[in-house]
């Protein structure tokens, strides 16, 4: 590594954290409060600068620089296992959305995603029409951003989850 590349990496890291604490402040405060409310015995780790914690709910979600994974995967599953990696990378896509949209993230991504995921009428719609959860714009965009970031697309996994 050259001196210049070391300085560029440091500059990128500083820029990342400046964005997280300014442009993405709203969702990071919400994510941090949620992160702190989850019992401490739940495993947590850092994944590509995002703070990840398992929780007992049946779904996973990202909020700012915080990712919450359902523990239905099993607490012993590590971040790189094939079992949780697609979900972890998808939720990391929401972290990328947060960086791009800043304060608009909550209105444009978090709320529509929560409605699409949680309302029984949309669950029935997806089941009856055989529509993938990941076809909704918030979810497909998260997968595309994650795919670009991790240099591989998650489309095969999406199709299996219909």
What does DSSP assign to residue 70? E
- Check whether 98 has a pLDDT greater than 60: yes
Query: What are 8-58's pLDDT values in tens digits?
Result: 888 888 888 899 999 999 999 999 999 999 998 888 999 999 999 999 998
Contact of 145 with 93, CB cutoff 8 Å: yes
Contact of 43 with 58, CB cutoff 8 Å: no
**What is the signed CA dihedral for 162, 117, 32, 98, rounded to 10 degrees?**
70
Residue 154 pLDDT grade (very low, low, confident, very high; cuts 50, 70, 90): very low
- Check whether 105 has a pLDDT greater than 60: yes
- Check whether 137 has a pLDDT greater than 50: yes
CA 145, distance to chain mean position in Å, is 11
Contact of 105 with 97, CB cutoff 8 Å: yes
């Amino acid at each position: 590594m050259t001196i210049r590349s070391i300085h560029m990496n440091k500059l990128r890291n500083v820029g990342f954290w400046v964005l997280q604490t300014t442009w993405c402040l709203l969702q990071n405060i919400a994510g941090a409060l949620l992160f702190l409310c989850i019992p401490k015995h739940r495993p947590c780790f850092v994944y590509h600068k995002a703070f990840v914690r398992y929780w007992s709910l049946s779904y996973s979600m990202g909020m700012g620089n915080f990712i919450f994974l359902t523990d239905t995967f099993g607490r012993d599953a590590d971040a790189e296992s094939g079992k949780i990696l697609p979900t972890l990378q998808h939720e990391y896509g929401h972290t990328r959305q947060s960086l791009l949209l800043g304060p608009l993230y909550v209105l444009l991504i978090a709320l529509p995603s929560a409605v699409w995921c949680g309302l029984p009428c949309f669950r029935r719609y997806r089941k009856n029409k055989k529509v993938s959860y990941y076809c909704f714009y918030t979810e497909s965009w998260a997968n595309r951003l994650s795919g670009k970031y991790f240099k591989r697309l998650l489309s095969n996994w999406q199709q299996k989850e219909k």
